[in-house]
Every structure is written in structure tokens, then in C-alpha cells.
Structure 1
Amino acid sequence: MTATKNKKPFAMIREFHLADWFTLGNAVCGVGALFSIMTFLEMKDVRHVYFACWLVLAALVFDVLDGRIARWRQKTSAMGRELDSLADVISFGVAPAIIAYGCGMQGLYDRIVLAFFVACGVSRLARYNVTAEAMSQETGKVTYFEGTPIPTSIVLVLVLGVAAWTGHLREDLWFGEVRLAGFTLHPLVLLFALSGSLMVSRIRIPKP
């Protein structure tokens, strides 16, 4: 009985496919990006912004590889799909938003927009999972994305990386700041509003 109980914690690990480990690599990179930007906020060393941006890029590499490996090995599962969505929320939803906050988008309106962006990313992934399940039952294959995929937020991360490289952070952020009703809005944050809106749009993008 004891031996059986001891094996139970490892039962889920045995169910992992090779692609799932790459998905976990995606999630680990996303968490690493969060740690890096928090270190920047404490130490004010811009190198940590670079680290955060590079880690999100590494997460994208893992995200691409896990899909390719799953197709190559022809092993996919519902758990793998859910795992992928959770990792993507961290790496391409929460991490870009927190990097933006660390770079200077800290006004009340900025925070509202960044929270909207993350909420859109979560909604986009939930809708995709439901759509993918329905399509798989009908045709056996997912043929399109509805709304832009959440990894497209890498464009926002690259913009922030360039801003850090050129010294345009915090009070020197591109386009400055606007005061509305006593609260601050950095116009650059509107890129996140646009990205989030495209994620929850009805635009159909063919899936390769």
C-alpha cells in the first residue's frame, strides 16, 4: 500500500509527452521574465529589462517547438492543450504587462489597460480551447484561429526592449504622459489596448 501511495505523485509526470516538457520550458521562461522585471524595479539596472525581454523571446521559441514536436510525434492531448494555454498566459499575457509596468506604465489608466490586455489574452485562449475541441470533434483538425494569437504580444515586448536599449524608460518613455482627471496615462500603453482588442476580435486567421 505504501509503495502504491509513493508512486502516485509521479503518475502525472509519466503522462507527459515530450512536447509538454517544452511547454513547461515556456512557462519557466515566463516566470523568469517576471523575476527579472521585479529585480529591475528593485535595483534599477536596465540589464534586467533586457533579460526579461529575452526570456519572453525564449518562451516563444519553446512555444513554437512544443507544437512542432507534438505534430512530429503525433501525440497531442487535452492536458497538453490546457498546459499550453496556462504557459501562454504567463509568458505572453502577464509577463509583457508586468514588463510594461516596470518600464514606466504605472499610472492608474496604464494599469487598467494592462489588466484589460491580460484579460483579453485569457479570454482568447479560453475561446480557442473551446473552438479547438468543437472543430476536432467535427473535422479532426483545427483550421483557423479566431482573433490574433496571444504570442503576437512578442511585438510589444520587442518595442519595450528597444525603448530600454535607447534609454526611453520611466519618465523618458516614448510619447510622454497625459494627465486625465488627476490620473496618468502613458499613450504607449494604448498598443496593449490594441493588441488585446485584436485577440478578442472575430478576425479569422488560418492555422498552418
Structure 2
Amino acid sequence: NSEFGVELDSLADIVSLGVAPALLFYSLEAPTVFTTIAFMLFPTMGALRLAKFNVKPTKGYFMGLPITAAGLVMAAMGIFLYSNAFVTFLLSILMVTPVRIKKL
């Protein structure tokens, strides 16, 4: 319930839902310039998205794709040992777009 707890939770989300999937999928994909950029962009955009939410929380909707939803897509791809830099790039961009997504 404290500000420290909110920041610590966001840091844990960045590591578990941003950095870990990016490292896993980068190891599955053949290294190219595009894959390197896509898999570096994923945790970076996830951190920016969480920072924006911590500064300006929203009620009833998310501004941009939540990192938990993006991480869920990455986990679904991981079940099938599938790695796609384009999907990762798309998820990264969706996390910081000003699109409103209704909370469930």
C-alpha cells in the first residue's frame, strides 16, 4: 500500500514480464539487427509503460497494453518454443501507445 511497494512491484514486473521473456526468446531466435532491437525494446517499453502508470494511474481502463498482457502473449509463444521478433516489436509498441483498453 506504500509508494515503495508500488515501485518495487513495478520493478518485479519489469524483470519477470519484460527482461526474462526477452532473454528467453532472444536465445530462440537467430541473431539479426531486427531481433536485437525488438528484444531490447520489449523490456524498455514495458518499463516506460509501468512508469507512466505509476505516475498517472487510470480508473476503469489501461492506457496502452499492460505488460502483464504482453507477457502472457510471450508466454503463450514460449509454450510452443516459437519466437517472432515482429510480434515482440508489435507488443512493445502497443505497450506505449495511447490506446485505451478497458479493464476486466
Rounded to whole Å, the distance in 2 between the matches of 1:207 and 1:159 is 23
Tell whether the 8 Å contact from 1:105 to 1:111 is kept in structure 2 after alignment: no
* Structure 1 counterpart of 2:16, one-letter code: S
SS at match of 2:56: helix
Residue of structure 1 in register with 2:77 after alignment:
159
Tell whether the 8 Å contact from 1:143 to 1:207 is kept in structure 2 after alignment: yes
Structure 1 gaps of 5+ residues are 1-75, 136-141, 174-187
> What are the superposed Cα offsets for residues 6-64 of structure 1, whole Å, 9 maximum, x if unpaired?
xxxxxxxxxxxxxxxxxxxxxxxxxxxxxxxxxxxxxxxxxxxxxxxxxxxxxxxxxxx
Q: Which fold has the larger relative contact order, with Cα–Cα distance below 8 Å and residues 6 or more apart in sequence? A: 2
* Residue of structure 2 aligned with 1:195, choices 62, 80, 91: 91
* TM-score, normalisation: structure 1: 0.46
Whether 1:96 aligns to 2:21 is yes
SS at match of 1:205: strand
- Structure 1 vs Structure 2 CA RMSD: 1.8
Shift of 1:111: 0.8
Larger Rg: 1
Rounded to whole Å, the distance in 1 between the matches of 2:23 and 2:30 is 9
The percentage of aligned residue pairs carrying the same residue is: 36
Shift of 1:101: 1.2
* TM-score, normalisation: structure 2: 0.87
* Structure 1 counterpart of 2:99, one-letter code: I
Residue of structure 2 in register with 1:144 after alignment:
61
Rounded to whole Å, the distance in 2 between the matches of 1:161 and 1:105 is 18
